[in-house]
Copies of this chain bind each other. A is one copy, B any other.
């Protein structure tokens, strides 16, 4: 008879061993293997200091080490852990390594990991309020907490006209901001009949994140619709007068400017656009202003590190990623809008099978209408866990530590006459180069990366190659910066 060969009620396996056969772990096996997985993580972290930061595998090495087909019979979970050690770890570049300084950090902290683990165990879908109310309400509360901690204006709170939501990435946040902007500018026309004959244009500095171009491609505007506004060569911040000119020229040509993206902490150098000045330019034409503070925004938990967000109170949307610098396991990109009606207007759908009294009452928020996806997991748990376990004091201390370590790294650069800072340090990011030129700069970085001692990434600033050192891991200490600097000095040809 169907189903009745399963033993027990609460997650038990057919054979009780949890090995082979059906693969359903018994509660005892789940506890045992779960504890083993936790211990594997603790051991992995403890091993990081001795591992090369950047993986040394060649293309195909990992694939060739794995069998060509899935096993017919279940294997013990321990076999997976063994393959992690033997096959996977050598193929990893270790983002949680204390001397990982490339790109931006992607923190994974104990508090966040356990919060996300609990979310997996609960396994609830929060696509609408009615499908599991706590998923939505905890997210609203945590986003309100976090908005307050960042000093965001009251309009962005869920008890005002706006509200916050956790997106997977800032790329998605930027894309949804563009959709909301198009909805508002077209008075709903885009959603119904498409982009039509309008020649929509969007604006950002030459230093803006590539996700804006991708958003324009995905929304049907095309990459040519993105105007790259020049920057001040010294600060790499948008030349706001050039923005004004670009908008005016487009309007004269019959284009419809729909969104400006302000970079508050660019990927290349951490450049901070003047949000307040951009808002001034955008106001007359009611152009949507989206503030992309994916990396730098979380620094605003420290009142003294908020200057770069001046003007955000008049912006239409804002994104920052706790999954970068703020200890929250990917994915957790916190996104706020000042008027949620434009966002939900652009994205709402209501199939019959999701109709319910709570939605129709208007008393609840249905996050399905705040992003491209329908299904959504209980992501707020991990941010809730971080904010509670660290407290605001703890997250501020973490941010300040990163800024101090970057400042220390900048001092080291200044003290060696072969090197020079390319820009002044931005929060926890230092950008520097060898005075000898592009090739020595890139070769020196590559020697360090190849050694495995540390991992850094490169960029181009004003046409010249530069090295980026982005602090952010909670494992990084002063000695890690010193070891990395010594490696760079020794790698100079």
Task: Encode A23-55 as 1/0 by CB contact (under 8 A) with B.
Answer: 111010111011101111110111111000001
**Contact yes or no, B74 A172, CB < 8 A:** no
Given contacts A123-B108, A220-B219, whether A55 and B95 have CB atoms under 8 Å apart is no
Cβ of A251 within 8 Å of any chain B Cβ, yes or no, is: no
Q: For residue A331, which residues in chain B have a CB less than 8 angstroms away from its CB?
A: 375, 377
Number of copies: 2
Given contacts A88-B134, A120-B112, A122-B92, whether A45 and B75 have CB atoms under 8 Å apart is no
Inter-chain CA distance A168–B382, complex, in Å, is 18
**Contact yes or no, B95 A404, CB < 8 A:** no
Chain B nearest CB from A164 CB (Å) reads: 13
> Which residue of B18, B124, B220 is within 8 Å of A221 (Cβ)?
B220
Cβ of A118 within 8 Å of any chain B Cβ, yes or no, is: yes
Which of A125-133, A238-246, A336-344 is the contact stretch?
A125-133
Q: For residue A394, which residues in chain B have a CB less than 8 angstroms away from its CB?
A: 21-24, 73-74
Size category of the A interface is 35 or more
**Contact yes or no, B116 A120, CB < 8 A:** yes
> Which residue of B110, B222, B478 is within 8 Å of A30 (Cβ)?
B110
Inter-chain CA distance A98–B8, complex, in Å, is 12
**Contact yes or no, B57 A134, CB < 8 A:** yes
Q: For residue A481, which residues in chain B have a CB less than 8 angstroms away from its CB?
A: 3
Cβ of A486 within 8 Å of any chain B Cβ, yes or no, is: no
Cβ of A286 within 8 Å of any chain B Cβ, yes or no, is: no
**Contact yes or no, B193 A387, CB < 8 A:** no
Inter-chain CA distance A389–B77, complex, in Å, is 6
**Contact yes or no, A10 B45, CB < 8 A:** yes
5 A-B pairs with the lowest CB-CB distances in the bound complex, closest first: A220-B220, A91-B134, A23-B390, A108-B123, A2-B404
Q: A66-B138, A171-B372 are known contacts; what are 5 more A-B pairs with Cβ within 8 Å? A: A22-B393, A41-B118, A59-B363, A60-B137, A218-B218
Cβ of A417 within 8 Å of any chain B Cβ, yes or no, is: no
Cβ of A62 within 8 Å of any chain B Cβ, yes or no, is: yes
Inter-chain CA distance A33–B107, complex, in Å, is 19
**Contact yes or no, B132 A92, CB < 8 A:** yes
Chain B nearest CB from A81 CB (Å) reads: 8
Task: Encode A213-230 as 1/0 by CB contact (under 8 A) with B.
Answer: 110011111111100000
